[in-house]
Amino acid sequence: MPKPATTRAPGLGTRQVPLAPVPAALPTLVRQLRYDLLAQVRNPASALFTLGLPLLFLIAFTMLGKDTQATARYYAPATMTISAMSATFTTLVITLTYLREYGILKRSQLLPVRAGVLLASRMLAGGLVAALAIVLMGVVAALAYDTRPEQPLQVAVAMLGLLIVGSTLGVAITPLMPNETAASPISNAISLPLLLLSGAFFSLDAAPEWVRTTASVLPVRPLLEVAIDAYAGQATWSQLAIAGGNATGWMFAAWLTAAWLFTWVPRHRR
């Protein structure tokens, strides 16, 4: 039973009016997800960085390799990782900063909707778009280069971990953005070196030891390595467990950071 609220109407004195109940979380999430998906799909820049560029990288890098099939076996999961980080981390940072600075996040707090539902919808929309891009990379690699994962389950688990890590890091980094203009260059300045250092653009086999050691503790490299090994049929469950532990630590740190710093209020008055 909704708790009654006290209100005063002209000429009627004080009366009890029941408050509107907060809508259930799941139906609200489903409705909101539809709009967030449409907004992301209709964004040309988001589609380019999530679908277009990774596909171009897959084709270009595979053409440059001496052994086409072996090269595709590496760059199929690598470009999947690029798509995953673009659709989750980069897109979330840019979108949430824009919504915050234009007061949309602040106004959304007036709605009878839990704040977590709105964030979850944005994160889920990015994850679904990334999943579509991941499937696209896998299909192109299979049809064009006859390259399929020997261990598809391990690839799927690794990609799911990347989607979750990218989303949580995106929410955690958003409070550091000074305004919507800076969100795109700063988020790309973070994600591109992270992907480079993780081996998404080239193999780390010939990299210095300190580079490989640094990459192994960052959130992307362990899961990407699982996906690459799974394509070759060499991934192990213990390797996946270690990568999952690393990802869990980064997700926990990201949630703590978001809970401490995330704000719904614009930094600059418009």
- According to the model, what pLDDT value does residue 6 have? 45
Please write down the HEC assignment for all residues of 120-155. Answer: HHHHHHHHHHHHHHHHHHHHHHHHHHCCCCCCHHHH
Task: Tokens 């907060």: give the residue.
Answer: 22
- According to the model, what pLDDT value does residue 167 have? 95
- According to the model, what pLDDT value does residue 12 have? 40
Distance, in Å, from the CA atom of 130 to the CA atom of 97, rounded to the nearest integer, reads 20
pLDDT tens string, the chain, 270 residues long: the values are 445 444 444 444 444 434 445 567 778 888 888 888 888 777 777 777 778 889 999 999 999 878 888 999 999 999 999 999 999 999 999 999 999 999 988 888 777 777 788 888 999 999 999 999 999 999 999 999 999 999 999 999 999 999 999 999 999 999 999 999 999 999 999 999 999 999 999 999 888 999 999 999 999 999 999 999 999 999 999 999 999 999 999 999 999 999 999 999 898 765
Residue 108 CB contacts under 8 Å (≥ 6 apart), including other chains: 115, 118, 264
Domain ranges of the chain: 23-261
Task: Tokens 């270009």: give the residue.
Answer: 60
Please write down the HEC assignment for all residues of the chain. Answer: CCCEEEEEECCCEEEEEECCCCCCHHHHHHHHHHHHHHHHHCCHHHHHHHHHHHHHHHHHHHHHCCCHHHHHHHHHHHHHHHHHHHHHHHHHHHHHHHHHHCCHHHHHCCCCCCHHHHHHHHHHHHHHHHHHHHHHHHHHHHHHHCCCCCCHHHHHHHHHHHHHHHHHHHHHHHHHCCCHHHHHHHHHHHHHHHHHHHCCCCCCCCCCHHHHHHHHHCCCHHHHHHHHHHHCCCCCHHHHHHHHHHHHHHHHHHHHHHHHHCCCCCCCCC
- According to the model, what pLDDT value does residue 270 have? 58
- Among 151, 144, 160, which Cα is nearest to 80's? 160
Check: CB of residue 29 under 8 Å from CB of residue 121.
yes
- According to the model, what pLDDT value does residue 215 have? 94
Centre a 10 Å sphere on the Cβ of residue 250 and count the other Cβ atoms it contains: 21
